[in-house]
Structure formats: structure tokens, C-alpha cells
Chains A and B, each alone.
Chain A
């Protein structure tokens, strides 16, 4: 009964019997039951999908359905991405414009340092070639010469912050297989292939909690295991670095590419991963705490390169 009922309504309401109430109540009950049944069936169906998908192999029926649906969506995603690209580039340009002045100064200093380094590197490379020739040295497959690069557009970004995966527009038909390394267009390590369909593939990023790769300090040769830190953001850590090993801030970390008979590395040697931002150690820990800033810019990944071994 409404609160603002009139005296007349209150009086009538108290004496008039509600003849239609049972029918109304039955209809409402039926609607409520139907509503709950539909929701219950859909929830049950979702749980069945999750369980089935989780338990079946990558060649299972649900993976097949997913691959087919992804193939249907793919051209639309590529189209949408291409339409939006100029606007996104414009946004990036405007955003970058505000940082340009401060960045310019830092880049000039960096350029000076790199020029010096380039001169030293040229001399070292010449020496390296001469020594290899003298020793008749035979190396394994090298990056990038031992790999074909399959370029693919990013057609889907993770739907929320909990997903650290992307979907690219090339899959098994382009020769891409599970665990193939993935770099950005500048050759910085981005992640690896974690799922494939015939025309698309999923890339797990370096920032995924499951990801780890053997890394090496390019200057001191110190080895460690690169993985995503416990905190938020894109910061990586170089773990398992003993305290007696030398590692410094601003050192470049590259893939170690170490191969052993039992645990071969998925990644070729010398793909740049990131730069050391801090090195610390505590009395209780037997390893150093090394943080790395990845070189790849995960916020603007548009085209990725999948490294497919030539010898496959």
C-alpha cells in the first residue's frame, strides 16, 4: 500500500477483497521461475565450457570452435584496427609532443655515450671476426640470421588488466608454433606464442606472471632468470643472481640462449630484454635483487615479429 494513500483508498483497501491477486501472483511466480531457470542454465553452460576447455587438449573441440569464431572475427578486428590507427597515431603524437623537450636533452646525452660505444664495438667486432676465422669457430643458430621473422598485426588486446596476452593476425598457416619467441618491430623481446589457431595466435607478454626467460648481462656476462615482479606495472626482475656476480645499473639484459641437453632455451641468444634500473641486496637473501625496465613499449604494440627457426 502506498504511503501517500488517501483516506478513501485506505478505507477501501481495508474492506475490498483483492480478487485478482492469486492470478497475478501466479503469473509473477512463473516469470520469476523462468528467469531463474534461464540464468541457471546459462551459468551451468558457462561452467561446463570452462571445465571442458580447461581439461581438453589444444586440438579439442572447444578449441576448434574458438579458433573458428576467432577466424570470423579476425577480418573485422583487422579492419577496425586499421580504421583507428591514424587516430591512435595522432593521439600518440600529441602525447609524445609534451615529453619531447625533456626527452630531447636526455637523448642527446645518450647519443654521445652510444657513439663512443659504437666505435669500441666496431673494433671489437672486427677482432671477433678475425679470432673466429683463426679458430675456425662454428656457432649454433644465431639471432637474427638463423630465424625467419613473421610480421603480424595485433588484432586483440587483453580485455582487462588481468590479461597479459595479445592476439596477432598470423597463426599455424604462417609457420608459427607454440613457444616461438616474439619481438616488437625494433627487435626487443615481447613474449612468446602461447596458443595457436590456423589464422591467429596468442602472445603471452613478458609481464605475464607465468613468463620467465634466461637472461644475461650483456656487459658483465652475469646470468639470471628474468620474470615479472610481484608488484604491478611492467617492471621485471632478474632473479637468481648470486651476490658475488657483478651487475650494474643501466646494464643491458639480453636473452642468455643457453642450451643444455635437458633444458634447451626457447629463445635465441642476444635478444634485448631491458635495462637494469636498480640493484640491491639484503643480508637474508642469497641472491641480488635486480629490477629491469623492459625496452619494449607494451602500451603501443601494433606490429609484432614472430621468430620462426629456419631449421624447423
Chain B
């Protein structure tokens, strides 16, 4: 568990740096990929709801600090996202190959709606059309494209030490 926490701390630090410095500046089709959300989806699916919520909070805190945004805003949304994805992974999505793709598609839409709602609550003037109509379709596609390599990488990083390999034994008669 401790090693998982250390790994998650490093992974999300890198994800936030890449997201804020590089990924957000690339806008093919009018939308940007959300590397942090994709990474969170992969980690939460692999490690469950509690771990997903904790790393979501941590990633959100880093993201808000990097962007000088209102502290807690991304933490709230990513905590809920991590929790929901983790629960999905623990229940319906367990052992399903399409779970990461389905989860990221749904959570991208929910995250956009949540962001819009939070900015509305905080009285930030935002364009719902820009976020939901113009950018969201491209964002979903980009996130889906990122999911496959990121999920594979996270599965490798967060792999549990494998159990002892099965050994063929001969039972005495």
C-alpha cells in the first residue's frame, strides 16, 4: 500500500506537470485531452474507490496550484471522479476489457458538467457552449485515445507482485 501511494504521488506529479505545461496547449479539433483525468481513471479502476478518491484529491490540489486556480475546485471534482470510477471498477466494471474506455467517456462528460457547475457557483463567467458543445466531443475522443496507453502504463506501474507460479505436482498414490 505504501509503495502504491509513493508511486501514485510520482505519477500524478508528472501527469499534472505534463497536463499544465504541454497537453493543455495542444487543441486538435478545438478540445484538449485531460491527462490527469485519464490517469485517475486508470489508477482508480486498478486500485478501487478509496484510493481513487485520495489520489483524485491530491491530483486536484496539484492542478489548482499549478494553474493558480481556486484551491479545492479540481480536488472536489477529481475526488468524486476517482471515487465513482473506483466503485465502477470494484463492481460492474470488474474484469471487463471495455471498462476504462466506458469510464473515461462517461467521466469526461460528467467532469465537464461538474466544472461548469462549479464555475457557475463561484460566479466565474464561463461559456457553456465553448466547454460543452465546441470542446467536449474532441475532448472525449482525445481522452479515449489516451486511455489505452495510459491504462497499460498504469497497470504496469501498479502491478501487484505476482503470486507464486503454479507448479505441477504429482500426488503420491
Instruction: Give the B-binding residues of A (Cβ under 8 A).
Output: 34-35, 38-39, 42-43, 45-54, 62, 65-66, 69-70, 73, 76-78, 80-81, 84, 88, 91, 154-163, 165, 167, 195, 197, 200, 202, 208-210, 230-233, 299-300
Chain A residues closer than 8 Å to B102, beta-carbon distance: none
Residues from chain B with a CB closer than 8 A to the CB of A62 are 71
**A91-B22 Cα distance, complex, nearest whole Å:** 13
**Distance of A77 Cα from B66 Cα, bound (Å):** 9
Q: Which of B10-59 contact A (CB under 8 A)?
A: 13, 16-22, 24-27, 31-32, 34, 36, 49-50, 53-54, 56-57
Q: List, in ascending order, chain B residues with CB within 8 A of A51's CB.
A: 72
> Quick check: B66 and A167 within 8 Å, CB to CB?
yes
Cα distance, A231 to B27, chains bound together (Å): 19
- Determine if B20 and A50 form an interchain contact, defined as CB atoms under 8 angstroms apart: no
Chain A facing B: main interface SS: helix
| Smallest CB separation, B5 vs chain A (Å) | 14
Smallest CB–CB gap between A60 and chain B, Å? 10
Sampled A-B contacts (5; CB under 8 Å) = A34-B50, A73-B16, A80-B21, A161-B131, A197-B68
Q: Which of B32, B56, B76 contacts A47 (CB 8 A)?
A: B76
- In Å, the complex CA distance between A158 and B64 comes to 10
Check if B68 sits within 8 Å of A66, measured CB to CB: yes
A5 to chain B, nearest CB (A): 20
Cα distance, A129 to B121, chains bound together (Å)? 54
Contact A46 B25 (CB under 8 A): no
Looking across the interface, which residue of chain A has its beta carbon closest to that of B133? A232
Nearest chain B CB to A218 CB, angstrom units:
28
**Do the beta carbons of B67 and A42 come within 8 Å of each other?**
no
Min C-beta distance of B91 to chain A, whole Å: 12
Given A35-B83, A45-B75, A50-B76, 14 more A-B residue pairs with CB atoms under 8 Å apart are A39-B49, A42-B79, A45-B72, A52-B71, A53-B70, A73-B20, A77-B17, A80-B17, A80-B22, A161-B134, A162-B130, A167-B68, A210-B125, A233-B130
Shortest beta-carbon distance from A26 to chain B in Å? 18
Task: Establish whether residues A53 and B34, one from each chain, have CB atoms under 8 Å apart when the complex forms.
Answer: no
| CB nearest neighbor in A for B76 | A46
Contacts of A66 in B (CB 8 A): 64-65, 68, 71
A42-B53, A232-B134 given as contacts; is B21 within 8 A of A53 (CB)?
no
